């Protein structure tokens, strides 16, 4: 495949093409159109991406498993505003947001480490 190009006219045309490509990329109009094309293609890709604005919600049993707390402890802490408030989904359905539970656990862990370091 690595054949040497011996025809002078072909070599001249290749040089002309490479010079023209350099001139093209230095052309402001071409740069502007290229940027428009890239933005347009990116917008098309963005429209194809699935949008996931849904938050992860946990049922009571899942919150109990994550936190290690009992049902009554969770409800008592909710009542005392010491635990994230649930979201009412229906007449008998409530859920907790993942981020709220994670933040609560993180705060408890940090508080626990603080207590342990004060004892030491």
pLDDT tens sequence across 14-44: 666 666 667 766 778 877 887 887 777 777 7
CATH class of domain segment(s) 57-119: mainly alpha
- Rounded-to-integer distance, Cα 60 and Cα 4, Å: 75
pLDDT surpasses 60 at 5: no
Residue spans of the domains in the chain: they are 8-48, 57-119
Coil vs helix vs strand at 92 = coil
Count the alpha carbons within 13 Å of 10 in the hemisphere toward its beta carbon.
4
Q: Which of 79, 74, 80, 76 is nearest to 101 (CA)?
A: 74
Q: Minimal CA–CA distance to 104: which of 74, 83, 87?
A: 83
Q: Which two tokens stand for residue 45?
A: 């890709």
Say whether pTM exceeds 0.75: no
**Per-residue model confidence (pLDDT) at position 115:** 55
Note the pLDDT tens digit of each residue in 59-115.
Answer: 999 999 999 999 999 999 999 999 999 999 999 999 999 999 999 999 988 887 665
């Amino acid at each position: 495949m690595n054949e040497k190009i011996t025809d002078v006219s072909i070599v001249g045309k290749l040089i002309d093409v490479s010079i023209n490509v350099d001139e093209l990329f230095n052309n402001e109009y071409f740069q502007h159109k290229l940027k428009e094309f890239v933005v347009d293609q990116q917008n098309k890709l963005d429209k194809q991406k699935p949008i996931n604005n849904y938050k992860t919600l946990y049922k009571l049993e899942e919150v109990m498993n994550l936190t290690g707390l009992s049902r009554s402890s969770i409800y008592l802490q909710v009542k005392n505003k010491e635990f994230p408030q649930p979201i009412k989904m229906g007449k008998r359905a409530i859920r907790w947001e993942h981020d709220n539970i994670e933040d609560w656990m993180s705060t408890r862990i940090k508080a626990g480490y603080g207590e342990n370091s004060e004892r030491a």
